[in-house]
Amino acid sequence: MNFAISAAVAILAVVLTIALRTRRRLREKGFPPGPDPLPLLGNVHQVNSTCPRLTFTEWKRVYGDIVYCSMLGREFVIVNSEKVAEDLMDKRSRNYSNRMDMYGLISDTVSLNHDDLWRAHRRVLQQTLRPEALVVYRHTQLRCAATLLQNLHDTPSSWWGHIRTFSAATIMGAMYDHDLPADPKDDKAFCTVVEGKDLKVHLGSLGMISLLTVFPMLKYVPTWFPVGRYMNAAKFVRAMDEMIETPYDILQKRTATGEARPCVISEALSKFQDDSKLDNVEQVIKHASGEETVGSNKLLLYQYSPTSLACKTGSTLLTFTLAMVLHPHVQKLAQDEIDKVIGVDRLPYFNDKPDLPYLEAVFRETLRWRPVAPLGIPHAATNEDVYEGYYIPKGNRFINFIRAMAQDKNKYPSPDTFDPSRFFDSDGQLTNDTCEFVFGFGRRVCPGRHFAQASVWTAMAHILATFSILRDNDASGEPIEPAPDWAEGVTW
Ligand code: HEM
């Protein structure tokens, strides 16, 4: 018994000594302010595991715009303001464009470090997804929007499924000229993408990365073991390969028979085929484009409802749907504007955008109100640095807390209120604030943002021009009050 007590006291003494030393080290080095860490655990025990943003929001209140913490041996800085994000990720982008180590399992654009291969990916993406190049794919977005309207008309109760299908169809159509059938679950390419993104999103979660850091052997957990399918490295690599190869192979076959219409992949192949600056052009294009498909289909990041698979385009439309249900007067104003400008004989087209300022304000407020990537995708520092007197260690990860930026009370008074009028100045003109921060920062800024914006805007405009989004009724005919439940997930 005496031995047990002595051992316990000794362990406690060691833990306390390490804790005090860690604390002193942080203070001496001048790290940004943050909660006191425990040895080994860091601050992981303080983070709300189902909803980390609640903890981060509280830390912002206590420590300010830049917060230092550590989780299971990994060091993080949480960036809570646009200014700090711009100072570091934009102005010092050379140093803040790395990503977190993914154990070499993932080598798509979003996971690559700031190296030559990533530069090659970005070149392809920037060329193929720049606004002028996207004009060619507008017909795909319009075709998918027309199908969305038809589906909503036929089975309105399946609206969420229709929105997800729209999101997947726009991206797969533009990337691979791949038409999705009415029920995409029957489509081989779609299924490989869903499987791949599902695994990737689980493996890429902060929790899973932290776990694998401490217990790397977990990568070998067999797939039959509970949650093993989300850890098993071999299965993951196979799923990634299939996700990239399957839609590509289908496109190649259709190209050979002359059926394929122009798409991002075929354009990229013809544009970069003879580019001496790109090694292994086909691989780069396949992987960069494979990421786009995933990028647009990522798991629901921060949305309401008990969630299943969704994507950022779909999640944004889900937020829009909720906002319209909760704010019928906003919906009516947007519909009145569309009726007045477009009339009732045709649907809104991209060229109508400048003539629909209220719709534009609704679009911006949808992006801002509940950003679908609330914690961004972590950046990492290549070298140590000093910012505003704070020491930033080499390899430190940065969580761009986009949700906190969207809640900045100085920029967005009453930030929880869905209020499109905040985007008009006192002369009734749209302000310059286009909420670009929801697409990230610096060299890593989302390359799909122009495509995503066009898809979301088209769907919103088409839906508002043809339908009213209303509350459902319960069995006794009373309208059901929506009770949004915001789930939190991966920011990968
Ligand atoms: C509303 C829809 C979308 C939102 C809100 C969004 C947001 C983001 C954010 C916050 C990042 C991280 C940026 C950073 O690290 O600072 C990102 C990265 C990325 N996004 Fe998007 N995205 C959307 C749609 C899309 C679409 C449609 C595509 C493809 C066509 C796409 C492709 C990518 C890629 C490839 C990256 C990784 C870039 C890199 O690491 O260099 N995204 N996105």
Nearest residue to 322 via CA among 131, 78, 79, 485: 485
Cα dihedral 286→161→486→63 (10° resolution): 20
Identify whether the C-beta of residue 60 lies closer than 8 Å to the C-beta of residue 72: no
- pLDDT reported for residue 291: 54
- pLDDT reported for residue 304: 30
Q: For ligand 1, what atom is nearest to the CA of residue 378? A: 15
**First-to-last CA distance in the chain?**
49
Distance 316 CA to ligand 1 centre (A): 13
Q: Is the CB of 439 under 6 A from ligand 1?
A: yes
DSSP codes joined into one string, 241-288: HHHHHHHHHHHHHHHHTT-PPP-HHHHHHHHHTT-TT-SSHHHHHHHH
pTM: 0.88
- pLDDT reported for residue 23: 59
Distance 382 CA to ligand 1 centre (A): 21
Indicate which residue's Cα is closest to atom 37 of ligand 1: 110
- pLDDT reported for residue 290: 61
Q: Is the CB of 109 under 6 A from ligand 1?
A: yes
Q: Is the CB of 287 under 6 A from ligand 1?
A: no
For 91, the 3-state DSSP assignment is coil
Distance 433 CA to ligand 1 centre (A): 19
Binding residues for heme: 446
Q: Is the CB of 141 under 6 A from ligand 1?
A: no
Q: Is the CB of 397 under 6 A from ligand 1?
A: no
Q: How far is residue 131 from each of residues 137, 156, 316, measured CA to CA in Å? A: 10, 33, 20
* Helix intervals (H) in 343-388: 357-369
Q: Is the CB of 114 under 6 A from ligand 1?
A: no
Identify whether the C-beta of residue 374 lies closer than 8 Å to the C-beta of residue 491: yes
Q: Is the CB of 315 under 6 A from ligand 1?
A: no
Q: Is the CB of 378 under 6 A from ligand 1?
A: no
- pLDDT reported for residue 102: 63
Distance 16 CA to ligand 1 centre (A): 43
Indicate which residue's Cα is closest to atom 40 of ligand 1: 110
Identify whether the C-beta of residue 301 lies closer than 8 Å to the C-beta of residue 372: yes
- Mutational test site, ligand 1, from 201, 299, 439, max ligand atoms within 8 Å of CB: 439
Indicate which residue's Cα is closest to atom 18 of ligand 1: 446
Cα(354)–Cα(371) distance, rounded to whole angstroms?
A: 24
Q: How many CA within 13 A on the CB side of residue 392?
A: 25
Give the model confidence (pLDDT) of 105-144 as tens digits: 666 788 889 998 899 889 989 988 999 999 988 999 999 9
Identify whether the C-beta of residue 348 lies closer than 8 Å to the C-beta of residue 465: yes
- Mutational test site, ligand 1, from 446, 449, 457, 490, max ligand atoms within 8 Å of CB: 446
All residue ranges of the chain with pLDDT < 50 are 294-310, 490-492
- pLDDT reported for residue 360: 98
- pLDDT reported for residue 24: 63
